[in-house]
Amino acid sequence: MKFVLPVVAIALLCSCAGLYHANPTEKIYSASEVKVDYFEEWGLFRTTGYGVVSKKAGRFVASDSSFEKVCRDIHSRSDVARFVLNERLDVLTIECYYQPLYPINTDGFIDNLVGSMLLNYHYVWVKNDSAYRILYGGDSVQIVAGTYYKHRMVCAEKDRDRCVFDKDFEKKRDRMYYGGPFYEISLPATGAVRSLTIRTDPKDLEGYKPLKLDPSILPLESPGYKRLREYEEALSR
């Protein structure tokens, strides 16, 4: 789709769909791998969930809210979305597109960017030259691909008070409301496309089964995405 990214960006700027309110309901969907892209030129995020799985049996009913639920469960917001068949991996994939909630390069935007890339792990961050240095806690993020630097364990202790951090992270200690082990990773602060793909821990997929959709209906688009595609086709005529 030649114009899909800029068209999505333009259309979302003109809508109120960007407002998102979390709904603490049971997590029904997940994905074996999740890739997050940020397109700097358009100010647009895309979260792609490869190998969508579900705890819920029965037919998926396509609506903006149902697509939003799938995207939310794989740690993404969703202004518009679509299901496609990834022929290379032979798995069902969902693409979720959304715009940042905060102006570019504000603290809120950086939290949005880092939180999206790390699938909402608990973390603190500092800006260093052309990168964001991030200290997160818990299990190590299983990175499949992407642009990042210095992914390493900083402290094996679970109690932060038993750890010694460098001067930058020591200043953030009072914001570390999470336990270890503690890991550091740096993500680029600039770039036309910034991407990170993370593999879901298999133990977190227990009880899920592959979501099945009739291949003849794929790609299956949210109503909002379908309107954008029709607009795109009109522009290309």
The pLDDT of residue 13 is 44
Per the DSSP assignment, residues forming a β-bridge with 236 are none
The pLDDT of residue 23 is 45
Q: What is the mean pLDDT of residues 213-237?
A: 82
SS3 (DSSP) at 163: coil
Residue 2's CB: how many other CB atoms inside 10 A?
A: 9
The pLDDT of residue 224 is 84
Give 169's pLDDT tier (boundaries 50, 70, 90): very high
The pLDDT of residue 128 is 82
Burial classification of residue 228, based on how many CB atoms lie within 10 Å of its CB (0-12 exposed, 13-18 middle, 19 or more buried): buried
**Cβ pair 101, 74 in contact under 8 A:** no
* 225 to 17, 44, 157: CA distances (angstroms): 12, 14, 46
Which letter, b or e, does each residue of 45-59 get, where b requires 16 or more Cβ atoms within 10 Å of its Cβ?
Answer: bbbbbbbbbbeeeee
Residue 25's CB: how many other CB atoms inside 10 A?
A: 9
- Please enumerate in sequence order all residues whose Cβ is within 8 A of that of 173, keeping only pairs 6 or more positions apart, or say none: 160, 165
Q: What is the pTM for the complete model shown?
A: 0.84
Q: What is the mean pLDDT of residues 158-169?
A: 92
Radius of gyration of the chain (CA): 19
The pLDDT of residue 12 is 54
Mean pLDDT of the chain: 84
Q: Is the pLDDT of residue 198 over 90?
A: yes
The pLDDT of residue 6 is 56
